[in-house]
Every structure is written in C-alpha cells, then in structure tokens.
Amino acid sequence: MKRLVLSAAALALLTGCKTVGPNFERPAAPSASVYSATTNAATKGPVAALGEGPQARWWEAFGSADLNALVTRALAGNQSLAASMATLERAREAVKAANGRLQPQVNVNGQIEHQKVNLGAFGFDASTFGVAIDNPEFTLYSVGGGISYDLDLFGGNHRALEQSTADAEAQLHETEAAHLTLAGRVVMQALMIAALNDRIAAQQSLVSEDERNVSLTERKQQGGAGTLVEVLTARQQLANDRAGLPQLEQQRTEARDLLAILLGTTPGDLGATNFSLAALTLPAQVPVTLASELVHKRPDILAAEARLHAATAAIGVAQARLYPSISLGASFSQMATHPEDVFKGSANSFALLGGVTAPIFHGGTLTAAKRGAEAEAKASAARYRQTVLEAFGQVSDLLSALDNDSRSLALQNDAASIAERSLGLSRRSFAVGNSGILQVIEASRSVERSRIALVDARARQYVNVARLYVATAGGWTEAQH
C-alpha cells in the first residue's frame, strides 16, 4: 500500500498540475468613439454631457423629495429584488463550496455493531476441534476518521471554482441590473401618474369650458337669438367630455396599483401620489457614459461577459473529465469489543490509500460533453456581442430623443397657444352672433387635443430622460444600497 501511495505521489510530481481548457480573455471594447454617426444638439431642453456617466442615485436629478422616497421604498421592499439578492447569496455560497473541494476532505465516524461469526464459513467445525463449538457473538465498538485529497492533476476542480466564481459575478451584475431597472420603473411609473394627473386636470378644464358653452347657448336661446339645436349640441359635447374622465381615472388607478407592486406594498398602503410634471425638475444636462466605457459600466453587459467567462471555464471542467484523476487518503480507527477498551493503543489500526481513475469507455459521453461546453461558449460569446449592440442602439436612440423631444415640445407649445387664441376669438364671435356654437365647440376640441398633446410631449421628454439615465447609469453596489 505504501508503494502504491508513493507511486501516485511520484506520478503527480512528474506530471505537474496542469489546468486544461482555454483561459478566459476579456472581450475587447468596441472601437466606436460615439454612439451614432449623427449627433443632435438640442437647442432647448436637456443635453447630453459625455463623461463618467450618471451618479448612483440618478433619480435625485428630478428634484422631487416624494420621488426619492418612492425609489427608496422600492429598493427596500420590492419582492423580485429580494429574490435576486437571495439568488446572489446562493451563488456566493456555491463559490465557497467549489473552493472547499480543493481542500483535503476530513471525516470522522463512529459505529456500534453486533455480530455473530459463522466459524463454519472459515472451515472451523466440530471435526476440527473434536468437540462441538458455538459460533461466537459479540458487540464491536469503533471510532475513527479519514482524510482524502484529490490531486486535481488537470485542473478540473480549479476550473469548476473559476466557473462558480464567474457565475457569482454574473449574478452580482444581474442584481445590479435589477436595482437599476427597478429604480427606472419606479421613476417612469411616477412620471406616468404625473402625466395622467395633468391629463385629468386638462380634461376637467375642458369640461368646465363645455359647461361655459352650455351656459352661453342657454342664455342666447333665452334671449331669442339662439336655437335649441345649439343648446343640445353644447350639452352633448359636455356629456362626451365628462365620459372621458372615468377612463383616465381608471388608467391612473392601474398605474398606482403597479407602483404599489414595485414598492412591495398594497395599493391601500401606497399613500398619496399627487405628482405633477410641473413639480418635477427637468435636468439641463444628462451625464452620459463615454461610448468606449459603456461596456465596463452597464450591468447587463458585465453580466453577459461573466456568463461568457463561466462558459469558457466549463470547457476546462468537461475536458478534465477526459483524463485520469488521482486521489490520496488515509484512515485511522480504534476498535474494541468493550467501550472502555476503544481508546487503548492496542485497539488502533490505520490505512494509507492511493487511487487512480482513468476513463476508458463512456460511449462518447465525455467527448460530447466537452463539445457541448464549447458550443455553449460560442453561444455566450454571441449573446455578449448582441447585448453590446443592443446597448449602443438604445443609448443612440435616447440621445436622439433628447433633441427630438425638445423640438416636439416647442412645436406643441406653439400649437397650444394658437388653439387657445382661436378658442377665445370663437367665443367672442359667438357671443355677438357672428358665428354658431359649432365653431366654438370645434375650437374647444382643438384646445383639448393641443393640451393633451402638450402633456404627452412633456411626459415623453421626462420618460426618455429617465430611460437615458438607466441606459448609462452603470451598476448598483451593496455599499450604495
């Protein structure tokens, strides 16, 4: 046995520990210095400031203490985020488990067994001793322990540790992405509620205008200058505009319910959400990460890179199984028929162990597993490249939106001003009898459309700014949480 152990140790020294499989190389950063071929410079409204990227608590740029409080509640109470954090903890424990397999494995054991020995099975019977004998019966007490160590000649265990570490890193970045995405969803949901509040206010203002039109037509009819048709037309428009309010209020209720879910609470415990776009600050500048640094900032890109690393390490794990493995070990035990004799020197025994396992025939399973790992690494590389391309496309779209949203908002402001002026002129013309109520109602319709379009344009501008923050904000860390 000693000779076997010494031979195994000598083979380990001669062979040396070789980690098989490809070593991971971090993908090269894209050579692009800008996000798109064309650059838009907004003449009015937020502009991009290329540099280090947004601050960790980027939502504070909107200048709303209520909004900040909502994001803080969400980061503390969101259940999907809690699940992601628990998954991260599991991944970190898997790293510790993989690291433990690189260390010697030590076990202790104890046993009590009652035996009856059949002496006849060993050739001892009555003819042997000339007299009848009874098979002895006794209780055996034993305690002991053992140690084993896998030499990991070809680095399979080291590659498994590398794979687990990369998986944990990927989960960390996915948790970062979950924090970033959650903050973005809370901000955008709050913006949606603010826009709905403004739309409801615009609709209520329109209803007030309709009530004024009804009053005008009724007074005109009573004075003998108007007709019942004009009165009924004004009343119909009032009814139509009032009918639009319940749907807007339903949309706001649904938006509040979703916000409550994001915060990890019930709608009844959400509290007031009296947001208005006018109460929020639109940042004059939006810090945007440089194109060359985006791959080192965005958590979804970093997660895809870590998954590629894990897939590369998995090739080494599969390849190591194609080669022999050598393990060394030793065991020690104390054994006696009486408990008080177990720890006496005469009751001890030991064994030195050395083992070699080499795959000979597995029906192609091991080779297929290695080829499968190589294919998965190729797939992970393609997914990484796709993630990078999508990230650049997203940032390019949102940078373009900064300028287009500003121009759209300016045009909507002009349209709203013209509609308001037209409505005022139509009312005066109707009051003196130069035009009918239909002209006033149509002017009111134009005002309604322009007001709603203006609210939508403002909301879209805020939402796209928030999306740009999310697209380039980088990750969350536990120190920031």
pLDDT of residue 481: 46
User: Looking at residue 11, what is its pLDDT?
Assistant: 46
pLDDT of amino acid 13: 44
The pLDDT assigned to 62 comes to 95
pLDDT of the residue at 10: 47
pLDDT one-digit tens code per residue, 153-187: 999 999 999 999 999 999 999 999 999 999 999 99
Q: Residue 332, by phi and psi: left (phi above 0), alpha (psi -120 to 50) or beta?
A: beta
Report the pLDDT value the prediction gives residue 37, as an integer from 0 to 100: 61
Say whether 183 sits in a helix, a strand or coil.
helix
Q: Collect the ranges in the chain with pLDDT lower than 50.
A: 1-16, 479, 481
Q: With contact defined as beta carbons under 8 Å apart, do 203 and 245 qualify?
A: yes
Which residue is associated with the tokens 């009814």? 239
Domains of the chain: residue spans and CATH? 20-102+154-322+369-472 (1.20.1600.10)
pLDDT at 128: 61
pLDDT computed for residue 306 by the predictor: 97
Question: Taken in order 72, 472, 185, 179, is the CA torsion positive or negative?
Answer: negative
What pLDDT, on a 0 to 100 scale, did the predictor assign at position 42? 52
- CB burial of residue 66 (10 Å; 0-12, 13-18, 19+): middle
Are the C-beta atoms of 194 and 460 separated by less than 8 Å?
A: no
pTM of the model: 0.84
